[in-house]
DNA sequence: TTTTTATTTTAGCCTTATCTAAAAAGAACA
DNA sequence: TGTTCTTTTTAGATAAGGCTAAAATAAAAA
């Protein structure tokens, strides 16, 4: 069985996230930028992860994650997202505060702990940011999601995720009254700048720029 | 503000536990034995903890914990015990399974997390082993506890802690039907070997050796 | 009070994970 | 197809935390 250190788990999770977002491979510099670790350090770690067969690494040509690696990355992501649910649902954290703490909790080693936590939370399928929680076998059921600015006039849906999950953006959404789970209806679409007006939970109307709307994902 | 690494937190907690148990100072070898780390490594760490002013360290003469160090040790102990309560009360862990996981969780850095966890658990005062949980200022209220073998014939009490908290001993207690919180009455004391018979929760009788009874602590 | 034993520290080595600076390789351009 | 620019790797350093073996010190015994 392959054993990973905390640092290795962080790299592998980053590589998984970077490669699942469309492209099948990622580069030393991408990982460096994403993780805020210098390229030289990334190179060295890639060599080590390659030796542990969790990634395919050809010097100068970027990395692909292996099946083994994917399984391990998904295990960490599962833990991260379950802890996020715990923090929000049980400890009343707001959804912009959880990432940092979950980045630590995700490394705690105890299969029983995660299994029981999952059960305790009622086997949630999505985390507070709307991202799917892999099951214990690494299977992920994702929902087809559309950026809010692409919903037609009078169209309805439910906010399930954000593209930009920076604390600043999340706080902004909280302030204007948008949140994961909110039922929305598009009341107006302004032609010339793409800004929109939406109705939230049949109660409150919000105006937002095309840029903001493009970072909000909904299911219809 | 003094920042400690995970390893330093573990050492400081060990030193606190070793010095609170009666004596006011402890030795390199004691720490080495307790933590299962070689004396040479302990020496080196004591030098570093001394430089950080969390212990008083005079080479060859053992260590005392400082006020600053005590505060930090109690913070870690508080986190450890709160997580133990969480694992037992919310995730149905048995009390002999929690120590290992709590030894990891106790290092997660987030004041909000601990505050909220405390609140979520209903501000518990004792952990599953009967040990007191320090408040956020490091204050501990302990109960006067007596070894079960010192309770007189027909005396009653409540099991609140164990001296030996090895998994083996805890499992043995579980098996015979003793547990933290159990109301007990001493039904018989055998003169020649000190073994006793007790009644648990007015339901079940248990025989135990003097050795076992001496490791069980009760309040009267 | 000297000698022996036990404890503790130091010296030197290893691994992990980071960094900066320099070298090498690949990609883009002329 | 060279030449230049960008990306990536290597080399060498540092810090944390562990180890073994050897040296130093304190405690116990003779
Ligand atoms: Mn992490
Ligand atoms: Mn998330
Ligand atoms: Mn610990
Ligand atoms: Mn405990």
- How far is CA A112 from its chain centroid? 24
Q: Do A120 and B93 touch (CB under 8 A)?
A: no
Residues with CB under 5 A from ligand 4 (ion): B 84, 127, 129, 131
User: Could you tell me the CATH number of the domain that includes residue A59?
Assistant: 1.10.10.10
Task: Examine residue B24 and state whether it is found in any structural domain, yes or no.
Answer: yes
For A112, nearest residue in chain B (alpha carbons): B93
Higher pLDDT among residues B220 and B110, named by residue: B110
Query: CA B80, CA B131: separation in Å to the nearest integer?
Result: 11
Query: If we measure between CA atoms, which residue out of B145, B105, B144, B142 comes closest to residue B126?
Result: B142
- Regarding predicted confidence, which is higher, B140 or B64? B64
What pLDDT, on the 0 to 100 scale, is given for residue B194?
Answer: 87
Structural domain containing residue A22: 6-65
The crossing angle, in degrees rounded to 10, of helices A6-20 and A39-51 is: 100
Q: Is residue A128 a part of any domain in this protein?
A: no
Instruction: Name chain B contacts of A105, Cβ cutoff 8 Å.
Output: 105, 108
A212: in domain:
yes
CATH number at residue B208: 2.30.30.90
Which two structure tokens, joined as six digits, stand for A82? 């379950």
Q: Chain A, 52-81: which CBs lie within 7 Å of strand D?
A: 57, 59-60, 62
**Contact yes or no for A196/A188 (Cβ under 8 A):** yes
Residue that is written with structure tokens 């912009």 in the block = A96
Check CB contact of B88 with chain A, cutoff 8 Å: no
**Is the separation of the CB atoms in B64 and B56 below 8 Å?**
yes
The pLDDT value given to residue A169: 85
Last residue of a domain, one of A38, A65, A92: A65
Does residue B149 register a pLDDT over 70? yes
pLDDT at site A22: 67
What is the spatial distance between Cα B93 and Cα A214, in angstroms, rounded to a whole number? 44
pLDDT band at B181 (very low <50, low <70, confident <90, very high): confident
* B194 within domain boundaries: yes
- Over residues B91-102, the mean pLDDT reads 92
Cα(A196)–Cα(B72) distance, integer angstroms: 52
> Minimal Cα–Cα distance from A174 to chain B, Å?
19
Q: Can you state the percent helix, strand and coil of chain A, rounding each to 5? A: 45, 20, 40
Domain end position, chosen among B65, B85, B111: B65
Residue A187 CB neighbours (<10 A): 14
- A-chain residues near B90 (CB < 8 A): 120
pLDDT at position B22 is 66
Angle at A140 between CA A149 and CA A83, to 5 degrees: 90
Percent of chain B at pLDDT > 70 equals 99
Whether pLDDT at B172 is above 90? no
d(Cα A82, Cα A114) in Å, to the nearest integer? 8
Residue B108 above 90 pLDDT? Answer: yes
Residue A176 lies in a domain: yes
The helix-helix angle for A28-35 and A6-20 (nearest 10°) equals 110
Whether residue B10 lies inside any domain: the answer is: yes
Tokens of A150: 């692409």
Q: Between vectors from CA B197 to CA B196 and to CA B203, what angle results, nearest 5°?
A: 155
What pLDDT is stored for residue A71 in this prediction?
96
Percent residues over pLDDT 90 in chain B: 57
CA–CA distance, A58 with B126 (Å, rounded to integer): 55
How many domains is chain B built from? 2
Asked whether residue B101 is domain-assigned, the answer is no
Per-residue CA distances from B128 to B108, B145, B162 (Å): 20, 15, 10
Judge whether residue B73 has pLDDT over 90: yes
Entry pTM: 0.82
Q: Is B136 on the interface with A (CB under 8 A)?
A: no
Q: Is strand D within 7 Å of residue A25 (CB)?
A: no
Q: Compute the radius of gyration of chain B from its Cα atoms.
A: 19
Q: Under a CB-based contact definition with an 8 Å cutoff, are residues A153 and A186 in contact? A: yes
Least confident of A70-79, B44-53, B134-143, B159-168: B159-168
Among residues A65, A86, A116, the one where a domain terminates is A65
- B163-172 long-range contacts (CB < 8 A, ≥24 apart) are B163/B214, B163/B215, B163/B216, B163/B217, B164/B215, B165/B99, B165/B129, B167/B96, B167/B97, B167/B99, B169/B215, B170/B94, B170/B95, B170/B96, B171/B96, B172/B212
In whole angstroms, what is the distance from residue B102 CA to residue B109 CA? 13
The answer to whether B45 CB sits below 7 Å from nucleic acid chain D is: yes
Residue B14 lies in a domain: yes
Q: Are A40 and A93 in contact (CB under 8 A)?
A: no
Predicted local confidence at residue A119, as pLDDT: 98
Mean pLDDT within B137-160: 84
Residues of chain A under the 50 pLDDT cut: none
The string of pLDDT tens digits covering residues B197-219 is 898 888 888 899 888 988 898 88
Per DSSP, the three-state class of A65 is strand
The residues pairing with B183 across neighbouring beta strands, listed in sequence order, are B158
Total Cβ atoms within 10 A of residue B149: 19
């Amino acid at each position: 069985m392959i054993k990973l250190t905390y640092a290795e788990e962080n790299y592998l999770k980053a590589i998984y996230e970077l490669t699942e977002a469309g492209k099948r491979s990622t580069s030393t510099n991408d990982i460096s930028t994403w993780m805020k670790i210098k390229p030289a350090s990334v190179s060295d770690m890639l060599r080590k992860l390659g030796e542990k067969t969790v990634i395919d690494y050809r010097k100068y040509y970027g990395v692909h994650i292996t099946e083994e690696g994917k399984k391990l990355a998904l295990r960490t992501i599962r833990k991260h997202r379950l802890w996020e649910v715990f923090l929000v649902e049980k400890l009343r954290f707001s959804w912009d505060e959880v990432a940092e703490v979950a980045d630590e909790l995700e490394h705690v080693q105890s299969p029983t702990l995660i299994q029981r936590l999952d059960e305790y939370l009622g086997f949630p399928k999505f985390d507070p940011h709307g991202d799917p929680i892999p099951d214990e076998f690494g299977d992920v059921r994702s929902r087809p999601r559309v950026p809010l600015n692409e919903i037609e006039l009078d169209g309805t849906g439910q906010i399930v995720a954000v593209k930009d999950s920076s604390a600043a953006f999340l706080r902004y959404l909280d302030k204007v009254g948008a949140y994961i789970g909110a039922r929305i209806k598009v009341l107006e679409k302004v032609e010339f700048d793409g800004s929109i007006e939406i109705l939230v939970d049949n109660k409150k109307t919000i105006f937002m720029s095309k840029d903001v709307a493009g970072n909000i994902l909904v299911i219809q």
